[in-house]
Structures are given as C-alpha cells and as structure tokens.
Structure 1
Amino acid sequence: MQKTFRRYFLGFTLLLTANCLLQTACKFNPNMQKPGEAALQGEWQQDTVALQKKLLNYSLYHFRFSCDSFFVSVNYHSKANGGYPDSCVKNGQWAEYAKGVYRQMHDTLQLKGLFCNADFSYKNEGGCFRSGNYNEVFTLRKKTDSVIQFFPTTSVIPFNGRLIKRSTCIPKPL
C-alpha cells in the first residue's frame, strides 16, 4: 500500500512539475523593467483645483512615470487639521509619497506600490499619515498630447494633469 502511494505521489509530482513548466504562472519574473506606456513617460503636474480657495480640503498630485514604475507626491491642503497632531500638519499643509509599478488597461490606470519618504526610501509604520501599501485607480481621458484628465475612483472631482517634462523609457535591470 505504501509503495502504491509513493508511486502515485511521484507521478502526481512529476505531472504537476511538467504542467507548471508549461503554464505562464510558473515563469520567473523578468529581470528587466517593462517599457510601460509611452504616452505617460515623464512628469505630470495637476492643475490647480477649481474653487480651491473656497474648499475646506484639497490635494494636488505630481506623478513621475519611468518605464513601468511610478513615483507620486500628493500635497494636501486643509483649513482643518483632520485629527492629525500639529507636528504632522504644518499650517494645514503636508505631503505623502508613494512608489511602485503601474499598469494601464484601456482607459484605466492602476498604481500599486508602497508609501515612501520624499527621498524614495520606504516609510516605516507609524509616525504621521499613511504607511504600507498604496493602491489607487484612475480613469484617464487624453485631452491633448500634454494634458490628461484623471478621474480618481476615490474622489468625485476629476483633475487635469499637465506634462511638465517628457522622458523616454530606458529599461533598467531589477
């Protein structure tokens, strides 16, 4: 009985290994960056928010896309501190940063990464504001070659991003 079990187990293991080699899920990750979306390569700055002087809170995005990677800084402005200590909220203004990889499918841009410090180092848990995973999804509408309208899924207010510096993807080793 034990001999039969060993044979079946060995056969199952070999079948699973052979099947895994044929499946894309079992391939190693590439050792080079992917090229990303050519139209997004470069730095994009959000235009000012309509009626921002009348709003209690608003944020301004700055994106940098390089190949399949992104770096985003979000500058927050608030007339109320939102429950954060005064040491975190400097005169109602603060920034959060994140980096990671992005994927665009049709008109949907998905950003997946981690919160980080302004110098790209990963942010430790605790302290001011958010840390850990950063996930954000936008619907994009191209207005011109240098203006894209972003529709965040976490907000009802779309915004325009203006291209301030074009770049070309030169994939780097990971």
Structure 2
Amino acid sequence: MQGSGEAALQGEWQQDTAALQKKLVNYSLYHFKFSCDSFFVSVKSFSKANGGYPDSCVQNGQWSEYAKGVYDQKHDTLRLKGLFTNADLTYKVEGGCFRSGKYEETFKLVKKADSVIQFFPTSSVIPFDARLIKRSTCIPKPL
C-alpha cells in the first residue's frame, strides 16, 4: 500500500509571486501536488537571458519542467525523490529540452499559517511562500 505521507501537506500548493522576481534575471515558480506519500511538481521558469537553450525550447523566455515521485519529511526537512516527466505525467526520455532522469530536491519548511508554508530550497538562497489552493485527504492506494 501507498504510505500516508504528511497530513499537513496533502493537497495543492502554489508559490506566491514576489516583487523580487521582477529584479531577477532568472526565477522559477513551483506548483506542488501532494497525495499521500507521492508528489507531482510543476516548475515554470522565466529568464530574461536565453541561458543556452535553443529557441525551440524556450518560448519567450519561459519553459516548464515536471517531476513526480515520493517524498519524505523529517522535522522541518522535506525531501523529494522522483523522475522528470512530461506534462501528461509520462516519464521523460533522455535528450530533448531541459533535464531528464532523476529529480531530487530538498527544502527546509517553515509553517507561516494553516495555508502558507515557506520553502527554503537547498539549491537556492531565495526562499518562497506557497499557498494551499486545494486541500485533499490521503486515501492510500495499492502499489
């Protein structure tokens, strides 16, 4: 059976936009969906500079990446482990635009309110707030 995950995370969380983003050359906006012990993340990236990607990959300085897998939370540390996917959740084959293969990311979490969590990514120095936009309840499914 699927694990139950963290009750406080169950549902969909959208990163708040911030005034600081307008000053950055590159930034990303996260959308998380936690269901029991599983996650799906959409990362929409914005760049005022191309960043070395072909024009066919970067549309007007914007692109999206997706991943799914399992998560684990111990105290204030959230670890996401999975694989990059296409928008339709099929696993992404190597090659083409952007990253493929393993997706691993770690965040320190600080609860600011029942529906607001501040994420501190270990891969960045810029924390962000995410708002709960849809609450769900874990109903474990067979693996």
Scaled to the shorter chain, the TM-score interval is: over 0.9
Structure 1 residue 86 and structure 2 residue 55: aligned? yes
Matched, 1:106 2:106: no
Q: Within 5 A, what are the aligned runs for 1:145-164? A: 145-164=114-133
* 1:37 is aligned to 2:6: yes
**So what's the TM-score if we normalise by structure 1?**
0.81
Aligned 8 A contact 1:96 1:117 in 2: yes
Q: What are the residue-to-residue correspondences of 1:2-41 with 2, within 5 Å?
A: 32-41=1-10
Q: 1:49 touches 1:58 (CA, 8 Å); kept in 2?
A: no
2:98 aligned partner: 129
- Number of matched pairs: 143
From the CA coordinates, give the structure whose radius of gyration is larger. 1
CA distance in 1, matches of 2:41, 2:106: 13
Q: TM-score normalised to the size of structure 2? A: 0.99
Report 1 or 2 for greater relative contact order, CA contacts < 8 Å, sequence distance ≥ 6: 2
Ranges in structure 1 where 5+ consecutive residues have no aligned partner: 1-31
Verify: 1:65 aligned to 2:30, yes or no: no
Deviation at 1:50, TM superposition (A): 3.2
What is the distance in 2 between the residues matched to 1:109 and 1:54?
28
CA RMSD of aligned residues (A): 0.6
Per the alignment, residue 24 of structure 2 pairs with 55
Q: Using the TM superposition, give the Cα deviation of residue 105 of structure 1 relative to its aligned residue in structure 2, in angstroms.
A: 0.2
Residue in structure 2 matching 1:170, options 121, 139, 143: 139
Deviation by residue 1:40-74 (Cα, 9 ceiling, x = unmatched): 00000000033222211110000000000000000
SS at match of 1:111: strand
Which has a greater percent of strand? 2
Report the counterpart of residue 95 of structure 1 in structure 2.
64
Q: Paired residue for 2:88? A: 119
Over 4 Å off, 4+ runs: none
* Offset at residue 108 of structure 1 (A): 0.1
Q: Distance in 2 between matches of 1:73 and 1:84?
A: 19
* 1:21-58 deviation per Cα after TM superposition (whole angstroms, max 9, x unaligned): xxxxxxxxxxx100000000000000003322221111
% same residue: 82
